[in-house]
Amino acid sequence: MSFPFTLLTQPDCGIVSISDCDAKPYPRIQLLPGGDWYDAISMPFNYTVWLVDPKLQTILRKNKCQAFNKNISLPDSPSISFKILQIHTSDFYRCNSTSSTPKNNEHFSGYKMYNGCKGFSIYYKLPGGDDEDVQAGNLTTNCSLLQLPIRPTLDGNFFTPGFLVEWKLSDDCNKCHYDGGQCRTDTTNKFYCQKDAATTRRSMVGLVLGTVFGGVGLLMITCLAVSFIWCYKERKFSPFRYLSAKKFSDIFKHDVEGGSKYFGVPVFSYSELEEATNDFKSSRVLGDGGFGTVYYGKLKDGREVAVKRLYEHNSKQMQQFVNEIEILTRLRHTNLVTLYGCTSRRSRELILVYEYIPNGTLADHLHGDRAKNRSLTWPVRLNIAIETAGALAHLHASDIIHCDVKTNNILLDQNFSVKIADFGISRLFPNDVSHISTAPRGTPGYIDPKYHECYQLTIKSDVYSFGVVLVELISSMPAVDMKRHNEEINLANFAINKIVKCAFNELIDPSLGFDSDTKIWEMTSSVAELAFLCLQTDRDMRPTMAEVLDTLKEIQTSEFDNEKRAKLLLNQVKSQPSPNSVTDEWITCSSTIVANTK
């Protein structure tokens, strides 16, 4: 990489100054002339650089409240702009201690409060949202907004002096540079292109051809040398560490042979994956993931793989890329898809490589192209429900919300064993908070209505989505069908209307044989009732995934008897904060089922 970086002693070669490429432990960068200096740790992706603020680092090491006197902000100019990627920052509200503190507490409802500093309190939310997170609204007069860098994980102290910065050249500067000019800013902070550098650029071309034109050419050689040294040093940078009162794990670990591992997973070259997918041939497309197209591929070692290719290279997609790598490498479960690796941070595209699951998605088999094969008998479907519930319960126990549970993200192998995929929008969820505030994301038909209404994400949001999956398993119907009546376009609404009326025959797929097999009827109707609980609008009335898993296992072994069914009904009644006609109607229906099975 060369422009916009340059040595401090060669300002005409670029915009962003580097103090000394041989500086220890790291080179220092000044984003714009006259601005602060930062330690440059590494360049993980195109147009990004890891920076450490040495002043903030000193403050955090001493654990001083002065950290809340500092507000991270980056310079801007008509030539180049800088942006701290949102996944690495969080908003903090500093409010002076006054008689209006109770009013502040009310204003920042849902926020955590820290009052360990003299003279002011801090209101904040733990990391886990995105750039569409709900803000606290208009600030009160004694409060100010601070932005400080945070760790993207939640263990230990989440403050850090390091953050990932993305830079972007303005269109004017980009054109000026490639026309041989130099990007300049006048006294009124307006851009202009200094064209007298054109001769310098022509000299650089001459150098490439082997012709030396004296002093101007020597200047360009120096610029190229700076670029080479920078790139070389960037490759040999030590791993970035999040620094606070203690040291944290490396994000990127370099092996002794010069190869790299990101979050502990192997790195594939772009050309290797291009060859594995036959130049990303359209006939190799398996489907679309959360943020990219998935291709079938075969590596040189014979492994079959699913290759997810990013739609475009921008900060938003990069966040999802990093998010999926981090989550999949911290988890190990037989029913979660395995991540084999990814492309390098220097690759022309960001690509994830997974194990290949050959039997399509659950959606394919329920109401897609593979449905005509009728491979999913009731025992197979119930086992799929149990394995999916087990994987989700494991995620929740690990403080992770999937956020996009749906039959298209449930892959099936040749034995119809489950592999849950697509963690691009998953969220870390600390167990000491009630919810994460973030704008709704997910798939229509599966999104928790409370999440959509209140912008509050919890583990019960996954439970709701899984309730829709349960209904799909017993009905073979899609989550959204525009052919259904307006109020029943969403399968969740359709199912609730049928379940409360005990109209199971209008909901359950007749091909499962429930009308001729009493045992199947009992199991499918019990799963329908469980789905009803998962689909409750009131989150407190929904079971946890661990409870869902236990109930499904009891249904499978015929242990979900009348006593347990009655207990489930009793818990349902006790959990109701107020009478609900729809729920009461279901309880009446379920009581009838209990009576009829005695």
What pLDDT, in 10s, does the model give residues 344-357?
Answer: 766 778 899 999 99
3-state SS assignment for residue 293 = strand
Model pLDDT, residue 234: 38
Residue 98: what are its φ and ψ, rounded to 5°?
-140, -175
What is the percentage of the chain residues whose pLDDT exceeds 90?
31
pLDDT of residue 575: 52
Q: Is 137's pLDDT higher than 70?
A: no
Compute the average pLDDT of residues 63-82.
Answer: 79
Task: Give DSSP secondary structure letters for 375-386.
Answer: ---HHHHHHHHH
Give the pLDDT confidence score for residue 475 in this predicted structure.
97
- In this prediction, residue 207 carries a pLDDT of 42
Q: In a 3-state reduction of DSSP, which class is residue 569?
A: helix
Top-ranked range on mean pLDDT: pick from 157-161, 265-269, 545-549: 545-549
As a whole number of Å, the end-to-end CA separation of the chain is 76
Comparing CA positions, the residue from 330, 490, 296, 489 lying closest to residue 411 is 296
Q: In the numeric block, which tokens belong to residue 255?
A: 């092996």
Indicate the helix (H) or strand (E) that contains 169: strand 162-169
Question: Which residues form the catalytic set?
Answer: 404
- Report the candidate in 134, 237, 173, 139 with the shortest Cα–Cα distance to residue 15: 173
Mean pLDDT is lowest, of 161-175, 211-225, 284-298, 533-547, for 211-225
Least confident residue range of 188-202, 418-432, 523-537: 188-202
Residue-averaged pLDDT of the chain = 76
Phi, psi (degrees; rounded to nearest 5) at 256:
-70, -15
- pLDDT of the residue at 198: 44
pLDDT band, residue 579 (cuts 50/70/90): very low
Grouping H, G, I as helix, E, B as strand and the rest as coil, residue 174 is helix
Instruction: For each of the domains in the chain, give its residue range(s) and CATH number, in order of start.
Output: 5-236 (no CATH), 255-355 (3.30.200.20), 362-596 (1.10.510.10)
- Evaluate if residue 26 carries a pLDDT over 50: yes
Angle between helices 581-596 and 491-499 (to 10 degrees): 60
Does the reported pTM lie above 0.95? no
Higher pLDDT residue, 65 or 238?
65
Contact 451, 177 (CB under 8 A): no
Q: Which region among 1-15, 214-228, 288-302, 489-503 has the lowest average model confidence (pLDDT)?
A: 214-228
Strand partners, 22: none
Residue-wise pLDDT for 471-481, tens only, equals: 999 999 999 99
Name, in order, each residue with C-beta under 8 angstroms of 55's C-beta and a sequence gap of 6 or more. 36, 70
The pLDDT score that the predictor gives to residue 437 is 53
pLDDT band at 440 (very low <50, low <70, confident <90, very high): low
Least confident of 144-153, 275-284, 374-383, 441-450: 144-153
Give the pLDDT confidence of 317-348 residue by residue, as tens digits: 777 788 888 888 888 899 999 999 998 766 77
Buried b (16+ CB within 10 A) or exposed e, 538-550: ebebbbbbebbbb
Counting residues of the chain whose pLDDT is more than 70, the rounded percentage is 70
pLDDT in tens, 162-173: 787 888 888 888
Nearest to 446 by CA among 362, 508, 371: 362
Amino acid 261: pLDDT: 60
420, 415, 355: which is closest to 383 by C-alpha? 415
Q: Using an 8 Å Cβ cutoff, are 412 and 384 in contact?
A: yes
Quick check: 467 and 386 in contact, CB under 8 A?
Answer: no
On whether the CB atoms of residues 283 and 253 are closer than 8 A, the answer is: no
Q: How far apart are CA 538 and CA 419, in angstroms?
A: 29
Q: Which residues are annotated as a binding site for ATP?
A: 308
What pLDDT score does 62 carry?
A: 74
User: How confident is residue 155, by pLDDT bands cut at 50, 70 and 90?
Assistant: very low
How far apart are the C-alpha atoms of 479 and 473, rounded to whole Å?
Answer: 11
Q: What are the structure tokens assigned to 241, written together?
A: 């560490």
Report the pLDDT averaged over residues 483-497: 90
DSSP β-bridge partners for residue 440 = none
CB 458 within 8 A of CB 539: yes
Tokens describing residue 193:
């292109």
Tell the burial category of 193 from Cβ atoms under 10 Å away from its Cβ (0-12, 13-18, 19+): middle
Structure confidence at residue 247 (pLDDT): 27
- What pLDDT is stored for residue 157 in this prediction? 56
In this predicted structure, the answer to whether residue 574 has a pLDDT above a threshold of 70 is no
Closest to 309 in 3D by CA, of 284, 327, 339, 289: 289
- The amino acid at residue 377 is T
**439 pLDDT exceeds 70?**
no
Residue with tokens 């999956």: 469
- Please tell me the predicted confidence (pLDDT) of residue 202: 47
Report how far residue 447's alpha carbon sits from residue 394's, in angstroms, rounded to the nearest whole number. 20
Cα distances from 231 to residues 11, 253, 307, 315, 465, in angstroms, run: 18, 18, 28, 22, 46
